[in-house]
A and B are shown apart, each in its own frame.
Chain A
Amino acid sequence: RKEVEQDPGPFNVPEGATVAFNCTYSNSASQSFFWYRQDCRKEPKLLMSVYSSGNEDGRFTAQLNRASQYISLLIRDSKLSDSATYLCVALNSGGYQKVTFGTGTKLQVIP
C-alpha cells in the first residue's frame, strides 16, 4: 500500500463547478500536509498547507482529518486556469523532513 494515495482522475468538470479531491495517508507519524499544483511538464508549486482546523485561501479550502487519515481539497467556482495535477504531500518531521508525494489527481476544467 502506498504511503499517500490519491485518485489519479482525470476529473473533468465544467467552469464554475465545485470539485473535491481526497487523499489518504497510511503513516500515522506524518505531521504536516500540503497540496501542490503541477502544470504539465512543469515543477510542482505549493498551493496551500493543510491544518486540522481547516484553512481557506480564496476559492480553495483544505481539510485534514487525523482520525481517518485523510486530507481534502475543495475548489469552488472552477476556472479554466485551475486545470493541472494536484499533488497531496505528507511530511514526517522526525528531525529532518521525509516528504512523500501522492501520484497526483488530474483536473481538467472544461469551458
Chain B
Amino acid sequence: DAGVTQSPTHLIKTRGQQVTLRCSPKSGHDTVSWYQQALGQGPQFIFQYYEEEERQRGNFPDRFSGHQFPNYSSELNVNALLLGDSALYLCASNRVMNTEAFFGQGTRLTVV
C-alpha cells in the first residue's frame, strides 16, 4: 500500500505565477483534505473534497482552488502566488465519516 502520495516534493515559483500540486489518496480512501503549514506553525485547513465536490473550506482566499477526480486523486491550484504562500502543503486522505486521516509527505513550495 503506497499510502498518500504527493507530487512534486519541492517546487520554486515566482511571485504572480500559478502552481498545481497533486495528491493520490491512500487505497480505499475517498476524501481528500489539503493543508498549508508555514514554518513553525501547525497545519491550516484549506479545503476538503468528497465525491468531486468541495465540502468544507477554511479561511483561504479564492486564489486557492481545487479539484477531485473520479479516481479520488486531487489537485490544489494556487493563482497569483505571493511570497506568503511559501509553505509545506500537506494532503490527507480518509474514508468519509472515518476520522482517521493519513498524510502525504507534503510539497514544499517556495515563492521567490
| Residues of A in contact with B (beta carbons under 8 Å apart) | 4, 6, 8, 32, 34, 42-46, 49, 87, 91, 93, 95-104
Task: Tally A-B pairs: CB < 8 A.
Answer: 58
B102 near A103 with CB under 8 A, answer no
Contact A101/B35 with A43-B90, A87-B42 known, Cβ cut-off 8 Å: yes
| Residues of B in contact with A (beta carbons under 8 Å apart) | 31, 33, 35, 40-45, 48, 50, 55-56, 58, 90, 94, 96-97, 99-106
Q: Which residues of A contact B94 (CB under 8 A)?
A: 97
B96 near A101 with CB under 8 A, answer no
Taken together as a complex, chains A and B put the C-alpha atoms of A102 and B41 apart, in Å, by 8
A-B CB contact pairs (8 Å), 17 listed: A8-B40, A43-B106, A44-B103, A87-B42, A95-B55, A96-B31, A96-B48, A96-B50, A96-B96, A97-B31, A97-B48, A97-B99, A98-B48, A101-B42, A103-B40, A103-B42, A104-B41
Q: How far is the CB of B41 from chain A (nearest CB, A)?
A: 5
A104 near B96 with CB under 8 A, answer no
The 5 closest A-B pairs by CB, nearest first: A101-B42, A43-B103, A96-B55, A103-B42, A101-B43
Q: How far is the CB of B3 from chain A (nearest CB, A)?
A: 10
Contact A98/B105 with A44-B90, A93-B99, A103-B42 known, Cβ cut-off 8 Å: no
Taken together as a complex, chains A and B put the C-alpha atoms of A103 and B100 apart, in Å, by 20
Q: Which residues of A contact B90 (CB under 8 A)?
A: 43-44
Q: Which residues of B contact A97 (CB under 8 A)?
A: 31, 33, 48, 56, 94, 97, 99
Q: Which residues of B contact A99 (CB under 8 A)?
A: 33, 45, 101
**In the complex, given contacts A34-B99, A98-B45, what are 17 additional A-B residue pairs having Cβ atoms less than 8 angstroms apart?**
A4-B42, A6-B42, A8-B40, A32-B99, A43-B90, A43-B106, A44-B90, A87-B42, A96-B50, A96-B55, A97-B56, A97-B99, A99-B45, A101-B42, A101-B43, A101-B45, A102-B42
